[in-house]
Structure 1
Amino acid sequence: MIKKSEWQTGSWNEQDLQAKVLNLKPSATLWINERSAQLASEGHTIYRLGLGQSPFPVPNEVVTALIEYAQEKDYLPVRGLPALRQAVCDRIKRFDGLERSAQNVIIGPGSKELIYMVQMSLKARLILPSPSWVSYAPQASLTDRKVSWINTTWQEGLRLTAKHLEETCSAHPGERLILVLNTPNNPSGITYNESELRSFADVFRRYSVLVISDEIYSETHFQGAHISLARYYPEGTLISNGISKWAGAGGWRLGWLSAPTELTWLIEALGKIASETFTAVSAPIQYAAISATKDTPTLSSYLLACQKILGELSCQAIERLHKVNIKVCESNGGFYLFISLEAHREKLSLRKVDSGSTLAQALLNETGVASLEGEHFGRAPEELSLRLALVDFDGAKAIDSVKDPTYISDSRLSEVVHSHCTKVMTAIDLICEWIKTHAL
């Protein structure tokens, strides 16, 4: 029994944390979601454009499969259910024509964890195009990794180019390099065409760059035309994906990572880490996830409806923002708009709005619109940029109103957004009115 004299309540405190943990801030997306919920509970009207959670329900056939397999209670293989790993390979072949082995697929509790494990495993510098998802750089900090940002410009539409890649890779001779390419991009919605991806592949191949192709938003491409970098750089591309975004199952926590045969050794290493950490992903969810990878008429209809709703919503929001001279990055997929209010800097600075954080705070306090400043995505702190997540609507009702997405007219699609995405469009209007009041 420990005597009181041997254990003082103040003998342990936060200063005993490792510096990299002590200095770590909560994930920005999760923080804004919790802050929005707190404000709403206090009686404030909040428009939740902060967290990028899918507004759509999990497809019915996937829910049915989860119910069917709810009794599965045994541990599954560390790298994942063999049938699911094969289903992932079949899906990759169907979409991108690539032959990948189930032995080189690992299933994890979300792709986020798997990306972290890759960073943890390798001795290399991380390269991130700006803007990039909020968690890549903090994960690098946790794994004591150096990060180099590629600062894309608004004049270039925030698009990554082969020239950017060449300049960055050549600046680190002799170093191993990892790059994360997220497309459709969070926060910008940017996608890349075949010509661009081929030019990227040439640079990656020349410098032996290991690329994590984060394709978690692949099936949210508005035209259903996602292209994986792995088509053109198969030997050096890890494909990361999962069911959180395009299948609406963020809370189920299931993702996967697929590697070429050249990187079998890396999948084996990740399996070792998994065996000492999460052990295995939930068995019922793995069984159910197989159905999410299939090419069925009902799932295809679901995905098409989601793509059309998101595309129309994005178009309507962009049209309104442009009317008040807010610059918007061209979005071709995902849930987001990335906007710049630099054109209004002079007048906004009179109200002490002179950075991304003061801009986001002013909008939250004065309009109730929750957003995330660009600094969280690798932009300069002083840049007046924000990410807006267009997700504050009932996706189930929106899908039901579409009926047959293959033949829906443009006018009917516009009506669906007008009827079911009211809160998102109200938030956009509030931003526009705020600009008219304070900056025009």
Structure 2
Amino acid sequence: GLGQSPFPVPHSVVEALRVAAPEKDYLPVKGLPALRETIAEFHRKTDKVEATSDNVIVGPGSKELMFILQVAFYGEILLPSPCWVSYIPQSRIIGRNHHLIDSSLETQWKITPESLRAMIADVNDDDRPRLLILNYPSNPTGLSYTEQELKDLADVSRKYRIIVLSDEIYGQLHHEGNHVSIGRFYPEGTIVSSGLSKWCGAGGWRLGTFVFPPDLRWLCDAMAAIASETYTSVCAPIQYAAIHAFRTDVVIERYLWHARRILAALADCSVATLGAVGVQVPKPEGGFYLFLDFSSLRERLERRGIRTSAKLCQSLLDEAGVAMLPGSSFARPANELTARLSYVDFDGARALSASETIPLDEPLPADFCEHNCDRVLDGMRRIAAWAQREAPTA
């Protein structure tokens, strides 16, 4: 899939699932108690946030948890633009009003305290219940927020009593291992979302987690009531295996270290190739996405009949054989020539094995990606060549 980790599930976690396969009983709707305690400890350790097992809920993917959160929370949904493709459809299905907070290449596709305040001023109701969904490292941009930026957003959220759902599903794939949760600076109003899909390579296992602060225990309990009438509980063997993933022992820490440096190296190569032909791509800081901006090539592309992001992506697929999603899928204007590219088309197991032969204190060799991620680099070269084409003469 276009958003699926290229890396295999760590062997120790797979083995834990094999051992747990006979587990067949329904589990508590909030999740296996031992798993919830392990998740709470994971977030206390890695994110420095207050977390207790009573305020953790486990669901069949964080996507499902986001949906039932919007069912339980009666208020407006605030979304940065660009944002992940499912946020807006979910709010529409449930019938919640959503408001987009704009960003731009100049702001590194991130919202600012000023843009958040401006959106609230436009609505002109300071006391209206609001939920801000903040995803970082971001899908689709791969960009993250600095500690100061998070503090500033936390201050605005606190002032206007905005609940923040911090979607940190890519947090453990921050390329430098420096992910910071906004929950550190706004502990009373932040729900931290994570799961196994991205950093553990287990998208098909469908296990997501929410960690609530004590002040929002009522919302956690409301979600549990909805969950009990919908999915009941998450697959039992998966929950038992997830305990081993969230314990993050030395083996998993090494797995993450190698995954991060592979993704960082591949991002560097990709950004250099695309930037050389005028495609503007901020260097991603986490995850495995690039957000491409072709606006500097607009005149050339318009001569080829390309005026929307949808047409841009269709032409790239037809003429270069590269699949991307248009910026319009991520709440960007249709005529903005942006697109998201997932750089995951490589054998993650092979790349991990190759990285493990190189000492941790040494950088990956210059030709590492060429040997282990060649399909991705070929795709980047195809995009670059396509971008340089001129319109055919009459």
Counterpart pick for 2:94 among 119, 125, 143: 143
Query: For each residue in 1:15-52, what CA deviation from the matched residue of structure 2 results, as whole angstroms up to 9, or x when unmatched?
Result: xxxxxxxxxxxxxxxxxx5xxxxxxxxxxxxxxxxx11
Distance in 2 (CA, whole Å) between partners of 1:404 and 1:235 is 44
What SS is found at the alignment partner of 2:367? helix
Structure 1 portions without partners, runs of 5+: 1-32, 34-50
- Mapped contact 2:289–2:342 kept (Cα < 8 A): yes
Displacement of 1:105: 0.6
Displacement of 1:122: 1.3
Instruction: Return the letter of the residue paired with 2:380.
Output: I
Distance in 2 (CA, whole Å) between partners of 1:183 and 1:231 is 15
Displacement of 1:191: 0.7
**Counterparts in 2 of 1:41-440, with a 5 A limit?**
51-172=2-123, 173=125, 174-403=127-356, 407=360, 409-412=362-365, 414-438=366-390
Instruction: Return the letter of the residue paired with 1:150.
Output: I
- Mapped contact 2:324–2:339 kept (Cα < 8 A): yes
- Mapped contact 1:157–1:330 kept (Cα < 8 A): no
Distance in 2 (CA, whole Å) between partners of 1:195 and 1:157 is 15
- Mapped contact 2:309–2:327 kept (Cα < 8 A): yes
Instruction: Return the letter of the residue paired with 2:349.
Output: A
- Mapped contact 2:355–2:364 kept (Cα < 8 A): no
What SS is found at the alignment partner of 1:328? coil
Instruction: Return the letter of the residue paired with 1:398.
Output: A
Q: 1:406 to 1:297 in 2, by over 3 A?
A: farther
Identity of matched residues, %: 43
Structure 2 portions without partners, runs of 5+: none
What SS is found at the alignment partner of 1:362? helix
Distance in 2 (CA, whole Å) between partners of 1:220 and 1:406 is 20
Instruction: Return the letter of the residue paired with 1:397.
Output: R
Equivalent residue number for residue 7 of structure 1: none
Q: 1:142 to 1:75 in 2, by over 3 A?
A: same
Query: For each residue in 1:131-181, what CA deviation from the matched residue of structure 2 results, as whole angstroms up to 9, or x when unmatched?
Result: 110000100001101111111012222121111111112333131111101
Q: 1:289 to 1:354 in 2, by over 3 A?
A: same
Instruction: Return the letter of the residue paired with 1:417.
Output: C
Q: 1:156 to 1:399 in 2, by over 3 A?
A: same
Distance in 2 (CA, whole Å) between partners of 1:266 and 1:408 is 45
Aligned residues: 390
Instruction: Say what the alpha-carbon RMSD is for the aligned residues.
Output: 1.3
Q: TM-score, normalised by structure 2?
A: 0.97
Distance in 2 (CA, whole Å) between partners of 1:54 and 1:113 is 19
Compare 157-166 and 183-192 and name the one that shifted more: 157-166
Q: 1:274 to 1:343 in 2, by over 3 A?
A: same
Query: For each residue in 1:107-145, what CA deviation from the matched residue of structure 2 results, as whole angstroms up to 9, or x when unmatched?
Result: 000000001111111111111111110000100001101
- Mapped contact 1:237–1:259 kept (Cα < 8 A): yes
Distance in 2 (CA, whole Å) between partners of 1:157 and 1:195 is 15
Distance in 1 (CA, whole Å) between partners of 2:30 and 2:360 is 41
What SS is found at the alignment partner of 1:423? helix
Distance in 1 (CA, whole Å) between partners of 2:143 and 2:378 is 24
What SS is found at the alignment partner of 2:58? strand
Distance in 2 (CA, whole Å) between partners of 1:364 and 1:261 is 48
Distance in 2 (CA, whole Å) between partners of 1:219 and 1:156 is 24
Distance in 1 (CA, whole Å) between partners of 2:3 and 2:217 is 32
- Mapped contact 2:268–2:283 kept (Cα < 8 A): no
Displacement of 1:290: 0.6
Query: For each residue in 1:81-104, what CA deviation from the matched residue of structure 2 results, as whole angstroms up to 9, or x when unmatched?
Result: 000100010001101222311111
- Mapped contact 2:199–2:256 kept (Cα < 8 A): yes
- Mapped contact 2:301–2:307 kept (Cα < 8 A): yes
What SS is found at the alignment partner of 1:268? helix
Larger Rg: 1
Distance in 1 (CA, whole Å) between partners of 2:48 and 2:209 is 18
Distance in 2 (CA, whole Å) between partners of 1:384 and 1:97 is 39
Displacement of 1:416: 2.5
Distance in 1 (CA, whole Å) between partners of 2:359 and 2:86 is 36
Q: 1:411 to 1:106 in 2, by over 3 A?
A: closer
Displacement of 1:404: 5.4
Q: TM-score, normalised by structure 1?
A: 0.87
Instruction: Return the letter of the residue paired with 2:252.
Output: L
